[in-house]
Chains A and B, each alone.
Chain A
Amino acid sequence: MGVDRRMVLSGIVLAAGGFAAWKYAPALFEGPLEFEPIDDPAGFRKIEGGDRSAAFDPFVGLSSQETDPNEAIAKARVRADICSALYGGEAGAADVVPVASFSDYYCPYCRVQTQKLVEIEERSSGGVKVVWHELPLLGETSDLAAKAALAAKRQGAYVAFHKRLMKSAFRASPEYLRILAKDIGIDHDRMIADMASQSVQDELHDSAALAGIFAFVGTPALVIGKTVIQGQISDRRIEQLIELERSEGISGICSTA
């Protein structure tokens, strides 16, 4: 009798333990962040985002098609001061964690990630600053969308632009751009002019040069502080990294700039 009861009890305990292990073990295994230092650019390190992006050979980046001489110039410019190119003027402040986001409007997951970053930045009340890089890898329309985004950014409407694109896909037509400008409340003519401007082109070249230097294979990609991530990453991971970068500081790479 007693034995039976004990067996039932231990059975229950075992089952409960098994359930707990099954339920919480994956979270435990996600556990500590594993970093791998990067040789070039020095001072940065990488973390594996999704499994898939990690399987790519990091030396086969996107830097293969250099045709425009401006791209070479941009590369040299970025090389000279990676930190400023990556984070603009945001890298200096001690209590701010800078995040560089590389995305393409034709990459499904990018939209979601951009949205997440906007929310994280809003929640942080100044503790996180996201710098948006456009990395249009997916053809002409993708390039046009990137230019429109950067033009919107020049009128302080980058996030509004993005939120608008969450509702409907970007379409490469003059009529669409007119409606878009009206919807997000920016000056249409100025946007069109900016899209064709050298400053937008330079910014795209800079982002592309950065992508080449960091050997990004696709989008989305992120640099948080001094950590490089490619592909999809969970919200929790992003928050975890931001906290880590906040405590460690990015003095090693950016303070001297």
Chain B
Amino acid sequence: MFNRLIAILGLAGLAVGLLLDAPGARAATSAPHSSPAVEARLIAAEDGVTIGTQSISAALDIKLGEGWKTYWRSPGEVGIPPEITWSGSQNLAEAEILWPAPKRFRAFGIENFGYEKEVALPLRITLERSGEPVSLRAAVNLLVCSDICVPEIFELSLELPRGDGIDDQSAAQIAKFAAKVPDDGTGSEIDVTAAYISEDSTALVLAARSESGFAAPDVFPELGPEVAFGAPDIRLGDGGRTLWGNVPILYAGSTLPELRVTITDGARAATQSPALADAAPKPPFTLRAAVPGLGDVLAITIVAFLGGLILNVMPCVLPVLSIKLSSALKSGGQSRARIRSGFLASALGVLTFMWALAAVTLLLRSLGLSVGWGLQFQNPSFLTVMFLILALFAANLFGAFEINLPSSLQTRLARADGAPGHMGDFATGAFAAVLATPCSAPFLGTAVAFALAGRDIDILVIFTALGLGLATPYLLVATRPGLVSRMPKPGPWMVRVKAILGAMLALTAIWLLWVLIGVAGPRTTILVTLGTLVLVTGFSFGRFHGRTGAIVAALVAVTVMIGPGFLSAPAPAAAPAGTTNWVAFDRAEIARLVSTGKTVFVDVTADWCLTCKANKALVLDRDPVATALDTPAVVPMQADWTRPDERISRYLESFGRFGIPFNAVYGPAAPEGIVLSELLSSQEVLEALARASSGSELTRAE
């Protein structure tokens, strides 16, 4: 009721305002067309046509009522652009509409581009005979929408006699909106640098640059009337000077006409027709959202340090350490200073290798390789290699066979160690670090994941901590050379430690096997397991000795490692188990569902994500959450990230997340989504559901 009163008062105010504004009969404006939705007039900057004038500037001036919208020349998914036909006009050669930059409207999950409140569509009118009076007859077809869509069909007429003088008010209005018409990029300093349409025509990726920097840009591509675009994913890089956008193509026709891209940013806008490139422009690496707090860095650094320390007792590293220590013990004649500097050099070797690893990681990242921890768990070859290594080491720790460093290597190590100068010590350290890498991955996943998703400095810090941890025994000896004699002597305790470590490795191996089932299918997994068994058995019965044995072993190993790459035909995506009726993830669908009053629970999961399984077993599949997700007002949506999926990656990235578990709740009261913590609790889920849905009816009540 109130709203109506206000609307009426508003319209009355508008009418009074117009009456006061009208400067008299000579004004260059047409009689208005009025409806509750819109008031439209033709206006001209000049009161009359001066001698010799070839063109005049006019505009279709549109004032929209509260809540009403009209559309741009490309209206978006639905809608119709304003249309003007000029039949019946006199002395009119051509009338071109100059479209002011549009605004994006999102309603009911539909993207629309247009105008609200007021807009003047500037008209560039060319006369047939210069300097003579003109008579304009505009038949306008204007679609206006609010909670109802009304086609406004009306005629406006404007006579401009011979004469001169400027209608200040009309001229100002035309100028105001003419300034909003996108330019070619010269004045607005916006330059579309690249555009690429994916081969399957599902996305347009583009890049733009503005030396003055983007603040809040938006992208409006046009590809003929047949192609509809979805909501763009826009990223800024290089301190806001570069823009990268990915615009989903909802429907593409068979032929693609010339691409036009309009980029708006505040008051400026530019339209350009970039040539299509052969490759997608790279997104800028501004992982601003992933910048971790100091506390996080510290905690992860400690984890990395401890991880490095533990690596020393790993089966792959232990031999190196013991060689080094025993050589130090043996050479009792060496001075303390010599021992100290020797061990320092070894520590430096460890660190140098770690720094080299960090440098490689940074290089890969700067080359644009998508690095994100957990992604490699989507690769069957990686999984197989990891499984093989873990299974072999586990078998070794359980005493199935002994790993002896190749004798040539041992000799070289011993010789290097004895070599004068510190190069030998340095090499020993680096060698220990090299040997440690295969063991480190499964135990340091979190730290490495964090480093990869973080800034460059994070990578450096974490690899350094890792190296320091690994180098600690050397550093300890370096500070107190006397410790060498007090290092724990080999004994029965080693058997127990070995058993515990073996059990840990075996568990990790089993987990990897399970992930492999999800990624590559059961058949491949069985083959990999069999191959590994053959290897372990062969080793433990000493079948692989001599040159032939080594070749056979290598062949089996290579087959097992490479096989999955070929065999991993798409395994059927495992149907989500449990009682909840999950629907497949569809980012665009979320907004639509929310607009119809639904609450959407998004769960991003993967077979290789242990925490996800825990969340599922402890919270999602249990009451009261299972019941809450089963109500008709809630749509549970699941995204399976077991295999790489760019759509899911981008969705996660939009929240500054690079790993999972990820859960979010959307609803009428939380259209942007409430992000839940990694480790879910029933209470948290229920609260978020309530918060997102609260007032779904109330917000709609008038």
Residues of A within 8 A of B (CB): 23-24, 26-27, 29-30, 49-56, 65, 104-112, 115-116, 137-139, 141-142, 166-169, 171, 173, 175-176, 217-221, 230-232, 234-236
Q: State whether A112 touches B595 (Cβ < 8 A).
A: yes
| Contacting residues, chain B, for A116 (C-beta < 8 A) | 596
With A29-B701, A106-B79 as known contacts, state yes or no: A50 contacts B146, CB within 8 Å: yes
Residue B143 CB within 8 A of the other chain: yes
Taking CB atoms and an 8 Å cut-off, the chain B residues in 223-251 that contact chain A are: 225-226, 228, 250-251
Q: State whether A111 touches B253 (Cβ < 8 A).
A: no
| Contacting residues, chain B, for A235 (C-beta < 8 A) | 596-597
Q: State whether A26 touches B698 (Cβ < 8 A).
A: yes
B64 to chain A, nearest CB (A): 11
A118 to chain B, nearest CB (A): 11
| Contacting residues, chain B, for A54 (C-beta < 8 A) | 4
Q: State whether B149 touches A218 (Cβ < 8 A).
A: yes
Contact with A along B7-30 (1 / 0, CB 8 A): 110000000000000000000000
Given contacts A108-B77, A115-B596, A138-B80, 11 further A-B contacts (CB under 8 A): A50-B146, A51-B147, A55-B65, A56-B35, A56-B36, A106-B149, A108-B78, A108-B145, A139-B151, A219-B149, A232-B147
Q: State whether B251 touches A171 (Cβ < 8 A).
A: yes
Q: State whether B251 touches A168 (Cβ < 8 A).
A: yes
Residue B150 CB within 8 A of the other chain: yes
Contact with A along B141-163 (1 / 0, CB 8 A): 10101111111010000000000
Q: State whether A220 touches B596 (Cβ < 8 A).
A: no
Q: Roughly how many angstroms separate A218 CA and B152 CA in the complex, as a whole number?
A: 10
Residues of B within 8 A of A (CB): 3-4, 7-8, 35-37, 65, 67-68, 77-80, 83, 107-110, 112, 141, 143, 145-151, 153, 225-226, 228, 250-251, 253-254, 592, 595-597, 695, 697-698, 700-702
Q: State whether B80 touches A52 (Cβ < 8 A).
A: no
| Contacting residues, chain B, for A166 (C-beta < 8 A) | 592
Find A169's partner among B36, B77, B151 (CB 8 Å cutoff): B77
| Contacting residues, chain B, for A27 (C-beta < 8 A) | 697-698, 701
| Contacting residues, chain A, for B67 (C-beta < 8 A) | 52
Q: State whether A55 touches B4 (Cβ < 8 A).
A: yes
B83 to chain A, nearest CB (A): 8
Q: State whether A168 touches B250 (Cβ < 8 A).
A: yes
Instruction: Find the A residue at minimum CB distance from B112.
Output: A108
Q: Roughly how many angstroms separate A26 CA and B2 CA in the complex, as a whole number?
A: 12
Instruction: Find the B residue at minimum CB distance from A104.
Output: B149
With A26-B701, A52-B36, A169-B78 as known contacts, state yes or no: A218 contacts B148, CB within 8 Å: yes
10 contacts between A and B (CB under 8 A): A29-B701, A30-B702, A52-B37, A55-B7, A55-B8, A106-B78, A108-B78, A108-B108, A112-B596, A169-B78
Q: State whether A49 touches B147 (Cβ < 8 A).
A: yes
Q: State whether A173 touches B7 (Cβ < 8 A).
A: no
Q: Roughly how many angstroms separate A230 CA and B149 CA in the complex, as a whole number?
A: 10
| Contacting residues, chain B, for A138 (C-beta < 8 A) | 79-80, 143, 149, 151
| Contacting residues, chain B, for A167 (C-beta < 8 A) | 250
Q: Roughly how many angstroms separate A29 CA and B697 CA in the complex, as a whole number?
A: 13
Instruction: Find the A residue at minimum CB distance from B109.
Output: A112
Q: State whether A51 touches B7 (Cβ < 8 A).
A: yes
Q: State whether B147 touches A176 (Cβ < 8 A).
A: no
Q: State whether A217 touches B7 (Cβ < 8 A).
A: no
| Contacting residues, chain A, for B597 (C-beta < 8 A) | 235
A71 to chain B, nearest CB (A): 16
Instruction: Find the B residue at minimum CB distance from A216.
Output: B148
Q: Roughly how many angstroms separate A138 CA and B65 CA in the complex, as a whole number?
A: 20
Find A218's partner among B3, B112, B151 (CB 8 Å cutoff): B151
| Contacting residues, chain B, for A110 (C-beta < 8 A) | 149
With A217-B150, A218-B148, A219-B149 as known contacts, state yes or no: A234 contacts B701, CB within 8 Å: yes
Find B107's partner among A108, A168, A221 (CB 8 Å cutoff): A108
| Contacting residues, chain B, for A176 (C-beta < 8 A) | 226, 251, 253
Q: State whether A53 touches B148 (Cβ < 8 A).
A: yes
Instruction: Find the A residue at minimum CB distance from B35.
Output: A56
Q: State whether A109 touches B7 (Cβ < 8 A).
A: no
B77 to chain A, nearest CB (A): 5
Find A137's partner among B109, B149, B596 (CB 8 Å cutoff): B149
Q: State whether A107 touches B78 (Cβ < 8 A).
A: yes
Q: Roughly how many angstroms separate A30 CA and B592 CA in the complex, as a whole number?
A: 25
| Contacting residues, chain B, for A56 (C-beta < 8 A) | 35-37, 150
Q: State whether A109 touches B151 (Cβ < 8 A).
A: no
Q: Which 7 A-B pairs have the closest CB atoms?
A: A232-B147, A50-B147, A231-B148, A218-B150, A107-B149, A55-B36, A168-B251
Q: State whether A139 touches B702 (Cβ < 8 A).
A: no
Q: Roughly how many angstroms separate A142 CA and B253 CA in the complex, as a whole number?
A: 18
| Contacting residues, chain A, for B143 (C-beta < 8 A) | 106, 138
| Contacting residues, chain A, for B251 (C-beta < 8 A) | 168-169, 171, 176
Q: State whether B149 touches A109 (Cβ < 8 A).
A: yes
With A112-B595, A115-B596 as known contacts, state yes or no: A51 contacts B148, CB within 8 Å: no
Select the residue from A50, A169, A175, A221 with max chain B CB neighbours within 10 A.
Answer: A169
Q: State whether B147 touches A137 (Cβ < 8 A).
A: no
| Contacting residues, chain A, for B697 (C-beta < 8 A) | 27, 234, 236
| Contacting residues, chain A, for B701 (C-beta < 8 A) | 26-27, 29-30, 234
Q: Roughly how many angstroms separate A51 CA and B701 CA in the complex, as a whole number?
A: 11
Instruction: Find the B residue at minimum CB distance from A24.
Output: B698
| Contacting residues, chain B, for A231 (C-beta < 8 A) | 146-148
| Contacting residues, chain B, for A169 (C-beta < 8 A) | 77-78, 228, 250-251
| Contacting residues, chain B, for A168 (C-beta < 8 A) | 77, 228, 250-251
Q: Roughly how many angstroms separate A192 CA and B108 CA in the complex, as a whole number?
A: 31
Q: Roughly how many angstroms separate A109 CA and B384 CA in the complex, as a whole number?
A: 52
Q: State whether B65 touches A52 (Cβ < 8 A).
A: yes
Q: Roughly how many angstroms separate A43 CA and B701 CA in the complex, as a whole number?
A: 28
Q: Roughly how many angstroms separate A70 CA and B541 CA in the complex, as a whole number?
A: 94
| Contacting residues, chain A, for B596 (C-beta < 8 A) | 112, 115-116, 235
| Contacting residues, chain A, for B77 (C-beta < 8 A) | 108, 168-169
A139 to chain B, nearest CB (A): 5
| Contacting residues, chain A, for B36 (C-beta < 8 A) | 52, 55-56
Q: Roughly how many angstroms separate A150 CA and B181 CA in the complex, as a whole number?
A: 40
Q: Roughly how many angstroms separate A53 CA and B597 CA in the complex, as a whole number?
A: 22
A241 to chain B, nearest CB (A): 15
Q: Roughly how many angstroms separate A104 CA and B151 CA in the complex, as a whole number?
A: 11
Select the residue from B3, B78, B83 with max chain A CB neighbours within 10 A.
Answer: B78
Q: Roughly how many angstroms separate A171 CA and B224 CA in the complex, as a whole number?
A: 11
A125 to chain B, nearest CB (A): 14
| Contacting residues, chain B, for A220 (C-beta < 8 A) | 148-149
Q: Roughly how many angstroms separate A163 CA and B37 CA in the complex, as a whole number?
A: 30
| Contacting residues, chain A, for B78 (C-beta < 8 A) | 105-108, 111, 169
A27 to chain B, nearest CB (A): 6
With A53-B148, A168-B228, A230-B148 as known contacts, state yes or no: A142 contacts B80, CB within 8 Å: yes
Q: State whether B80 touches A109 (Cβ < 8 A).
A: no
B670 to chain A, nearest CB (A): 17
B114 to chain A, nearest CB (A): 11
Q: Roughly how many angstroms separate A24 CA and B701 CA in the complex, as a whole number?
A: 10
Q: Roughly how many angstroms separate A107 CA and B702 CA in the complex, as a whole number?
A: 22
Q: Roughly how many angstroms separate A139 CA and B112 CA in the complex, as a whole number?
A: 17
Q: Roughly how many angstroms separate A235 CA and B8 CA in the complex, as a whole number?
A: 27
| Contacting residues, chain A, for B146 (C-beta < 8 A) | 50, 52, 231
Q: Roughly how many angstroms separate A157 CA and B104 CA in the complex, as a whole number?
A: 33
| Contacting residues, chain B, for A105 (C-beta < 8 A) | 78
Q: Roughly how many angstroms separate A221 CA and B150 CA in the complex, as a whole number?
A: 11
Select the residue from B147, B153, B250, B592 with max chain A CB neighbours within 10 A.
Answer: B147
Q: Roughly how many angstroms separate A8 CA and B151 CA in the complex, as a whole number?
A: 58
Instruction: Find the B residue at minimum CB distance from A166.
Output: B592
Select the residue from A23, A52, A56, A171 with max chain B CB neighbours within 10 A.
Answer: A52
| Contacting residues, chain B, for A52 (C-beta < 8 A) | 7, 36-37, 65, 67-68, 146-148
Q: State whether A109 touches B698 (Cβ < 8 A).
A: no
| Contacting residues, chain B, for A109 (C-beta < 8 A) | 107-108, 145, 147-149
